[in-house]
Amino acid sequence: MQNNPIWNQLHQKAKQADIKNLEQLWQNPERHQSLTFEFEDLYLDLSKNWIDSEAKNLLCQLAEHANLKDAIEDMFNEQIVNTTDQLPATHTTLRDPHHKNYQSNIQAIFDLADLVSSGTIKTAFGKPVTQLVNIGIGGSYLGPRLVVEALTELQSESHIPVFFAASVDDSLINQLFKSIDIEQCLFCISSKSFSTVETLMNARAVEKKLKQIAGYLPNESQSSLMAITANKNRALEAGIPASMILPFDESIGGRFSLWSTIGFPIVLAAGKEKFKELLGGAYLMDVHYRKQPFNQNIPVLMALMTIWYRNFIGLDAYGCLPYDARLRSLPKWLQQLMMESAGKMHNIKGEVISYPTTPWVFGDHGQLSQHAFFQAFHQGVDALPLDFIGVLEKDSNSQDFLLFNLIAQGAALMQGKEEDHSMKGCPGNKPSTTLLLKSMSAKSIGQLLAMYEHMIYSLAVIWNINCFDQPGVELGKAIARDIQEHVENNTLNEMALDPSTMALIKKVTEQ
């Protein structure tokens, strides 16, 4: 990568003093117009960033040099892009109304949703389903929860409350049992592999609780358990009736899977029409991503800004700050999407790379963050790229107040405030991006999430890494399984562990 002449030109560009001087950059009268972009329900303003037209053009050339255009087409044409597992990445086919996968996917989801919402499907207590608990973690949890929270205020024809159980934590599971009507609850075990330890432990805890209740009589015609998985056989072996299993394909990555049958909780919570609108919004972004030139392509530009700050300016964190409570789970979803996809030290050939990839992603509801960590943004010596995300709705004065806060924070970070001989001064010249949605609709949410997905894929192509695998995730889990097995067999001393780890295990087991 370092031998790439464009890479070297960008390094030289980043060393220029003026590129980090927003006051100087704003001397260009065309700056705002050249760095704002609008597509359908999204409005993107990059003008408060440490970038100028020369840097932007060089970054677009970098994307061209990486053959990003061909790589985009490879993904949409179902070529092998997950080189580790030798699989395509087919999540975009699920939102393409012209693709056969689109209809088969929504038909499977909608058929089961209709049976649940109509009362045809009964729980193992012979009662209609009035609640759903989604048992899953990672991509089987973060995406559906984000969308459910964003859309559940939009009433629909099949509004069923949805709860989420992700962490293996007895206190959380017990709290959940107190919050639901367990006899009228359908428990959805969502796991691509149907071997995720945390998910299966929670599923067993739920099944144990169900068996303790009088009247629990599961059979083929009534069940309190269902499964969403790419491994149907394991779900069947676990005793889930075939009629209560929603499969999806192995080629759909877990953190890209909310568009698949993993989105079943979204349909129950927000309705079939809202789910179709969600897919429709994502499809609009898919078309934009494929067709627009890089200098007008919103996902590509978002990726290039990340590369600019991470690899050339040298900033190693990235903030996602939605100014709307309905998007409160967006930072966590993006954190997994970016850090699990792009947190790699090997290129697609398996060679160790010498340049950093993913930044450290964090964030929270914007207004709450103002009273938590914005002090460090305004007066800390560091700077980092921030995404301010707002929703343009005129339903109430409080919504306007949220947006005024969003706008003010971006302005304050850039402008700062001079105070002679005072600790109240803020230096300003801090970069940020503003992204506005025209409304909180299923269509706009689909566009937003697909935009971030394509941003991640663009990053991976330019960094020459595979964004569809996650080998590092398994290491800690494997060690945890080994520890538990050796503890149960009283063979802990046979493990080759450091003294600190051994002492910590003994602290746990001696309680």
Catalytic positions:
340, 371, 477
Q: For the sheet containing 131-135, what is the strand order?
A: 162-165, 131-135, 185-190, 225-229, 245-247
Find, among 143, 180, 250, the residue nearest to 469 by Cα.
Answer: 250
DSSP assigned state of 326: G
Distance separating alpha carbons of residues 86 and 249, to the nearest angstrom: 14
Provide the residue count of the chain: 511
Burial class (CB in 10 A: 0-12, 13-18, 19+), 10: buried
Q: To 5 degrees, how large is the angle CA 257–CA 260–CA 261? A: 120
Rounded distance between C-alpha atoms, residue 253 and residue 88, angstroms: 10
- Strand boundaries in 77-208, DSSP class E: 131-135, 162-165, 185-190
Residue 331 Cα to chain centre, angstroms: 7
Q: Where are the beta strands (DSSP E) in 314-377?
A: 317-322, 360-363
Give the whole-angstrom CA distance, residue 240 versus residue 248. 16
The three state secondary structure string of 275-297 is: HHHHHHHHHHHHHHHHHCCHHHC
Helix (H) or strand (E) holding 244: none
Residue type (1 letter), 455: M
Bridge partner list, 346:
352
Question: Strand 36-39 and strand 42-45: pairing?
Answer: antiparallel
H or E stretch at 503:
helix 499-509
The Cα-based distances of 203 to 200, 217, 238, 254 in angstroms read 5, 17, 10, 19
CA dist 280 and 286 (Å) reads 10
Q: Judge whether 300 and 63 are in contact, CB under 8 Å.
A: yes
Beta strands, E only, 209-316: 225-229, 245-247
Q: Are 342 and 354 in contact (CB under 8 A)?
A: no
Q: Tell me the C-alpha distance between 266 and 149, whole Å.
A: 9
Q: Rg of the chain over CA atoms, in angstroms?
A: 24
Token readout for 157 is 């024809």
* H/E element, 370: helix 366-370
Strand-pairing partners, residue 322, are 389
